[in-house]
Amino acid sequence: MSAARIDRRGVWVAVAAYVIWGVMPLYWHLLKAVPSLQIIMHRIVWSTVLVAGWLGWRYGRGWIRQTLALPRAAWMLAISGMLIAFNWGLYIWAVNAGHVVETSLGYFINPLINVVLGVALLRERLTRMQWVAVGIATCGVLWLTFNYGSFPWIAITLACTFAAYGLVRKLVNVPPVRGLGIESLYLFLPALGLLLWGEFHGLGGFVPHGDIPGWGWGVAALLVVGGLLTALPLIGFADAVQRIPYSLVGVLQYIAPTLQLLCGVLLLGEPFGSDRAIGFGFIWLALAVYAGDGLWRARKPVNPPPL
């Protein structure tokens, strides 16, 4: 597809989604006084209200029945819902525990985990350069493990759970926003129950608690807007992937972890010494090899079949 035919609105919507995801650590950092479990429950509740409301307005009340009638949708979306909820919860906890840099590593690694799952479970085949990229990334993870002093379990868990989520969503073949709506509805009642239990026991973050510093109506407003910031990039992303080539989406996706890394190092003061720099260097080299191979193959002319 030539550059002239690329939908500019789709590009800008995708960029906006990735920028929001990239700077979200700063937003969750504002809610550091609220327990991570409470934040994730609010994220689920308010994003459910927004997404389900939007789907009801757009498609009417029948959208739930129509989506669940699709093959395997009911139980597979329950699994994907649990995966994304765990991913969100670990991410928010890691951000507020001072591990923003490691969360960015997870989302740098994620595309390569997708490759491994594609080979192992979908019987996809890798090119020689793609295998080289996976090997380089593995070296980066091993370097971080043995030279930085600890296994990067946050990064690996985030990458694996998000890759598993993407695999389930690929297999279930449900429209993206409708799938998010069903996932959210599955999680809504448990999340609401936990929120109410926390509020009644003085552990919630929505109703102001004068005895806990930093909690007030401003925090409550941030929790509500957090649901909005969860849903809008996902809806925008779902719209963008219908408008622009998926190869371009693959390049743009690195905006988010790059911004996360910059937020962690430059704004939140997390350490980024030479050991981490070398480990990240391996990961970035692997991504460059993988992306370069994909772009080269996408532009390679295809010989017409013999007449």
The residue to which tokens 């807007």 are assigned: 225
3, pLDDT greater than 50? no
Question: pLDDT (tens digit, 9 = 90+) per residue, 76-134?
Answer: 999 999 999 999 899 999 998 899 989 988 888 887 787 788 778 877 777 888 788 88
Q: What's the confidence (pLDDT) of residue 131?
A: 84
Residue 225, CA distances (Å) to 41, 45, 55, 218, 300 in order: 13, 11, 19, 11, 45
Q: What is the pLDDT of residues 160-214, one digit of tens each?
A: 998 888 888 888 888 888 988 999 999 999 999 988 887 777 666 566 554 455 5
Amino acid at 4: A
Tokens of 188: 């809504």
- pLDDT winner (highest mean) among 52-56, 132-136, 212-216: 52-56
Query: Quick check: is 305 in a domain?
Result: no
Distances (CA, A) of 180 to 175, 282, 285: 9, 34, 33
Task: Give the type of residue at 225.
Answer: V
Query: According to the model, what pLDDT value does residue 246 have?
Result: 60
Classify residue 306: in a domain, yes or no. no
Q: Which two tokens stand for residue 274?
A: 């030479």
Range of the domain at 63: 3-298
Q: Check residue 304 and give its pLDDT.
A: 42
Contact between 287 and 293 under an 8 Å Cβ cutoff? The reply is no
- Tell me, yes or no, whether 108 lies in a domain: yes
Q: Is residue 307 part of a domain?
A: no
Residues ≥6 apart with Cβ < 8 Å to 35: 198, 203, 205
Name the residue among 246, 108, 260, 259 with its Cα closest to residue 176. 246
From 84, 40, 86, 52, select the one nearest 198 (Cα to Cα). 40
Does pTM top 0.75 for this prediction? yes
Count: domains in the chain: 1
- Residue 304 resides in a domain: no
Which residues, other chains included, contact 293 with Cβ-Cβ below 8 Å and sequence gap of 6+? 127, 129, 130, 133
